[in-house]
Amino acid sequence: MTSNGEVNESKVPLLEDLASTVDRSNDGEDDQHQDLARRVWIESEKLWHIVGPAIFSRVASYSMLVITQAFAGHLGDLELAAISISNNVVVGFDFGLLLGMASALETLCGQAFGAKKYYMLGVYMQRSWIVLLMCCVLLLPLYLFSSPFLKLLGQPSDIAELCGTVAVCMIPLHFSFAIQFPLQRFLQSQLKNSVIAWMSLVALLVHILVSWLFVYRLQLGVIGTAITLNFSWWVLAFGCFLYTVCGGCPLTWTGFSIEAFSGLWEFIKLSSASGVMLCLENWYYRILILMTGNLKNAEIAVDALSICMTINGWEMMIPFAFFAGTGVRVANELGAGNGKGAKFATIVSVGTSLLIGLFFWLLIMIYNDKLALIFSTSEPVLQEVNKLSVLLGLHYPP
């Protein structure tokens, strides 16, 4: 290790498990002579090595929110509306922003890893922790004053009051995002997606167990369903953290560094730009749910639309995984100086995501009358979701 803390590139061993999945060669001439189908196959293998575990981990993480909403839906229409607004509006509002801000690490860590500047990955992640934790503190009023805020926007008083209570219970979940999102991108840029996938599976199993215990055994009602999210998401965050600091990433994690506090303003600007880019569409959904609170029979309207938005969010974990996987592949190729490889990786990723989008469109069209049974048995809610299912199928984002 050099005096500035960077690992000497000549002394860094190649990672055996990456040899078969990442081609760091800059030999563009060989690529030109390969058959197009062969090139697509090779790039797809590299892409799915990242995207496959990323899809599983994102779907598993989002499933925790879906399970919570499903438990609440079987408690009653009011409880479902309160959990739905808390998940989709309050939590969803800062989820999109923090996820987008953490996505800046996909470029920074990906390029650093591609250029074999391994030490900088740990520094970048620590800077992201600092920036996202500061952002979480600034967003706290969204949780603490969600009830009067929702009333101001025209939500019914009973829904707004219960939603405010639920939102306060979710504050620990809010802070887990600031730790978990940078950790996932740190590990993902090193192609350690399988670690994230296993941690997500453990967290999902914990969430199912705790949800059953709190709702059915301890009879804690809608408050119990909200509290369960804190347990599962912090299990995921602590699991990834312990793997990182306990020897799982010996090249890229060398301990906490004072360098993390340098260049924070530049990092804030980059993270903010990334956050705004990703969260604008995400916030659009939240505004739609808020608007339904002004309709006649607001509970049913909120329930139906939030179920559709939840299913849509479930689906969106797949393009989000492709978004992340493409970022890693492009960053790795750019870090290795292979611009043509970065361009080709983008084309393959977009094409694959489009095909998956068409598959889910067909799935929703075929089973449009059965989608809402996961969340509710209320006949009015089922009918409203059935009416919206066509729009839901057409909306899948490739």
Other Cβ atoms less than 10 A from the Cβ of 160: the count is 22
List the domain range (segments joined by +) for residue 159: 35-394
Q: Is residue 4 a part of any domain in this protein? A: no
- pLDDT > 70 in the chain, percent: 79
Query: Which residues touch 92 (CB under 8 Å, ≥6 apart)?
Result: 282, 285, 286, 313
More confident residue, 316 or 10: 316
For the chain, the straight-line distance linking the first and the last C-alpha, in angstroms and rounded, comes to: 44
- Mind listing the pLDDT tens digit for each residue in 41-64? 877 787 787 788 878 888 888 888
Q: Is residue 139 a part of any domain in this protein? A: yes
Q: Is residue 342 a part of any domain in this protein? A: yes
Half-sphere exposure of 332 (CA within 13 A, CB side): 24
pTM across the whole model: 0.69
What average pLDDT does the segment 174-190 reach? 89
- In the chain, the number of structural domains is 1
Q: Is residue 29 a part of any domain in this protein? A: no
Q: Is residue 136 a part of any domain in this protein? A: yes
- pLDDT > 90 in the chain, percent: 9
Which range has the worst mean pLDDT, 2-16, 41-55, 130-144? 2-16
Q: Is residue 24 a part of any domain in this protein? A: no
Task: Give the Cα separation of 13 and 251 in Å (integer).
Answer: 10
Q: Which of 100, 122, 104 is nearest to 260 (CA)?
A: 122
Q: Is residue 227 a part of any domain in this protein? A: yes
State the pLDDT at residue 32.
Answer: 52
Inter-residue contact 211 to 68 (CB < 8 Å): yes
The helix/strand/coil state of 103 is: coil
- Mind listing the pLDDT tens digit for each residue in 334-372? 767 777 777 788 888 878 878 887 887 777 777 766 666
Tokens encoding 139: 């967003």
Q: Which of 143, 36, 44 is nearest to 86 (CA)?
A: 143
Q: Is residue 20 a part of any domain in this protein? A: no
